[in-house]
Amino acid sequence: MRQRQKIGELLVQAGLIDEEQLDEALAAQKTSGKPLCQTLIDLHYVREGQVLPILAKQYGCSFAEVGRLTIQPDAYKTVPRDLVRKLHVLPIRAKDGVLTVAMANPLDLETLDLLKARTHMRVEPVVAMEESIDQAIKGIDPGSGVAVGAPAGVAPTSIADQHIVEAIERGVNAIHFEPREDGLLVRFSSGEILDDVAKHPAELQDTIINRVKILSGVDTTDSRLPLAGSARAVLGSYEVDLLTETCPVIYGERALVRIRRGQQGIMSMDDLGFTEDGLKSLKGILSRPTGLILVTGPKGSGKTTTLCAILENVGKEKKNSFSIEDPVEFELNHVNQMELNHRAGLDFSLALDASLKQDPEILGFGMIPPYNVLETAFVAATNNCLIALPVPAGDPAGALGHIMDLGIRSFTLGSSLACILSQRLVKKLCDQCKQPFTPDPELLMEFRLRPDLKNVAFFKAIGCESCKDTGFVGHEGVVAVLVASPELKGAVMEGQKDASLREIIANTATGSLDYEVVRKLASGVTTVEEARRVFHSAGVS
């Protein structure tokens, strides 16, 4: 009892509750018999996520908000099911002989000893709410051990909310809700990779998808046709724009939710992952009155983010910055953003004419416009202003080839070309747990580093509490800035393509993607595996 009162006082001190609420909870506790913290949660005075850090501090351990965890199936299976129920403990992770277990009282030595004896592992307790633990145990599929069902203390409708919040916190930009034969699979996509994060039983599927549709302004009365919608949602302390597209598949309605973080999500150009030299070159280009800037990379490599940062940067310098988008993905403070309205007749051609009459210093496109508009834009890039354009391609030569294939005259393209940015995203290592190692000569050679190079460390992913055992936290852009040399411009004007352009670029360019990603590897930003993925896809060396 003394302990509980003390927790009450700590919550008051933390400003989470007042004395009156504490008294009320203490009185309610007498009849319910529940712990004080649970009582305060039941009374909606505090949230689980607010109480746990305080409890953890008191117990001197970490904490786990069970409803928001992805429980490792293998870890769960290390402890027999009846024992888990009896002891009210939830095994959540097993790694390197250490079993992490969520429990209400991490100081309960008897339970810890018992778990140790049964699993032959070192047991690391983390504090969690007992009710959440019990509910999670009830919801765990006995077959696979994967957490299914409504997470502890969470209504099925909030499952979607929780996944979105988790995605925001992990820097993920899209969530896939995929109906499968055995339930609804939730996957996070960042860049080019999809990670499975949870599976929910089929009976919750409609509720979850419906919630997603409501949050993103999609019509909920129809599930037979592909639908799209976007809306601003407030989730916890986050305010995000959700752009959702649904599509009927054989096991139900699939939804792809893209998350846009509004103004606060727009990074400054300095944070995009440019090297110092790259940033300097780009700023040099942006100070010119005219020229064509191409941003190239595969789908999901962050081209839009880079374009937005460039336009915002120019706009911030008290210059006239414009964009033409279909639809607007991020709202920008310093950019005049035009959104096409096909029904009203505002198409690319009209939008380009109108924006050029507004005397812009820079004009960016959200996507490649049709051929006739593109030709006009390139002429504008020679005579009027800077034009920035995303091109889905693997490397600069691929981007130039793509544009020529659209029928743009090579002379127009070559004469307006100012620079080409190529980019990829790599998973960023968690600073809390990454581990250095000395690469062997073979590995150094693979990345075209001198095999006798000394004092160079690469890092590997390990996994810890703060990165949810993934070893990674978010992503970082790898961006190479290729300033168009007179030679390259000349070759493009002559209509050269592919191999011959690649050769000219390799011989004259300074920054290449390969070079940039090796820098990220050697400075401990990412792993060998991630660097390898970019290194062998970049095409240009």
Contacting positions for Zn ion (CB under 5 A): 430, 432-433, 464, 467
Please give the DSSP secondary-structure letter assigned to residue 62.
-
Q: Which is nearer to Zn ion, 429 or 492 (CB)?
A: 429
CA 283 to chain centre: 27
Q: Which is nearer to Zn ion, 166 or 361 (CB)?
A: 166
Minimum distance, C-beta of residue 301 to Zn ion, in the bound complex (Å): 24
The CB-based long-range contact list for 233-240 (8 Å cut-off, 24+ gap) reads 233/164, 235/161, 235/164, 235/165, 235/168, 236/165, 238/165, 238/168, 240/164, 240/168, 240/265
Minimum distance, C-beta of residue 170 to Zn ion, in the bound complex (Å): 12
Q: Which is nearer to Zn ion, 13 or 435 (CB)?
A: 435
Query: Taking a C-beta distance cutoff of 8 angstroms, is the pair 447, 538 a contact?
Result: no
Minimum distance, C-beta of residue 60 to Zn ion, in the bound complex (Å): 20
Minimum distance, C-beta of residue 427 to Zn ion, in the bound complex (Å): 12
Minimum distance, C-beta of residue 429 to Zn ion, in the bound complex (Å): 8
**169: number of CA atoms within 13 Å, CB side?**
13
| CB within 8 Å of 502: residues ≥ 6 apart | 395, 397, 539, 540
| CB within 8 Å of 291: residues ≥ 6 apart | 285, 381, 386, 387, 416, 417, 418, 419
- Tokens standing for residue 176: 């896939």
Q: Which is nearer to Zn ion, 410 or 470 (CB)?
A: 470
Burial of 371 (0-12, 13-18, 19+ CB in 10 A): exposed
Minimum distance, C-beta of residue 93 to Zn ion, in the bound complex (Å): 12
Minimum distance, C-beta of residue 467 to Zn ion, in the bound complex (Å): 3
Q: Which is nearer to Zn ion, 84 or 430 (CB)?
A: 430
Preceding amide of 327 cis, omega within 30: yes
Q: Which is nearer to Zn ion, 215 or 430 (CB)?
A: 430
Minimum distance, C-beta of residue 64 to Zn ion, in the bound complex (Å): 15
Minimum distance, C-beta of residue 380 to Zn ion, in the bound complex (Å): 48
Burial of 97 (0-12, 13-18, 19+ CB in 10 A): exposed
Q: What is the spatial distance between Cα 380 and Cα 292, in angstroms, rounded to a whole number?
A: 9
In three-state secondary structure terms, 530 is helix
| CB within 8 Å of 221: residues ≥ 6 apart | none
Please give the DSSP secondary-structure letter assigned to residue 341.
B
- Cα 90 to Cα 10, 463, 505: the distances in Å are 26, 19, 56
Residue 396 one-letter amino acid: P
Q: Which is nearer to Zn ion, 43 or 457 (CB)?
A: 457
Minimum distance, C-beta of residue 428 to Zn ion, in the bound complex (Å): 11
| CB within 8 Å of 22: residues ≥ 6 apart | 8, 9, 11, 12
Query: Taking a C-beta distance cutoff of 8 angstroms, is the pair 397, 509 a contact?
Result: no
Q: What is the spatial distance between Cα 418 and Cα 319, in angstroms, rounded to a whole number?
A: 19
Minimum distance, C-beta of residue 302 to Zn ion, in the bound complex (Å): 23
Q: Give the max Cα distance, the chain.
A: 86
Q: Which is nearer to Zn ion, 72 or 281 (CB)?
A: 72
Considering only CA atoms, which of 430, 474, 49 is closest in space to residue 237? Answer: 49
| CB within 8 Å of 486: residues ≥ 6 apart | none
Instruction: Give the pairing type, strands 362-365 and 386-392.
Output: parallel
Minimum distance, C-beta of residue 430 to Zn ion, in the bound complex (Å): 3
Query: Taking a C-beta distance cutoff of 8 angstroms, is the pair 226, 213 a contact?
Result: no
* Alpha helix stretches (DSSP H) within 43-108: 48-59, 73-76, 81-87
Minimum distance, C-beta of residue 465 to Zn ion, in the bound complex (Å): 7
State residue 481 phi and psi, 5-degree precision.
Answer: -105, 115
Q: Which is nearer to Zn ion, 433 or 531 (CB)?
A: 433
| Dihedral, 261, 264, 265, 267 alpha carbons, nearest 10 | 160
- Tokens standing for residue 178: 């995929």
Minimum distance, C-beta of residue 173 to Zn ion, in the bound complex (Å): 21
Q: Which is nearer to Zn ion, 460 or 489 (CB)?
A: 460
| Angle formed at CA 162 by CA 257 and CA 53, multiple of 5 degrees | 145
Q: Which is nearer to Zn ion, 76 or 459 (CB)?
A: 459
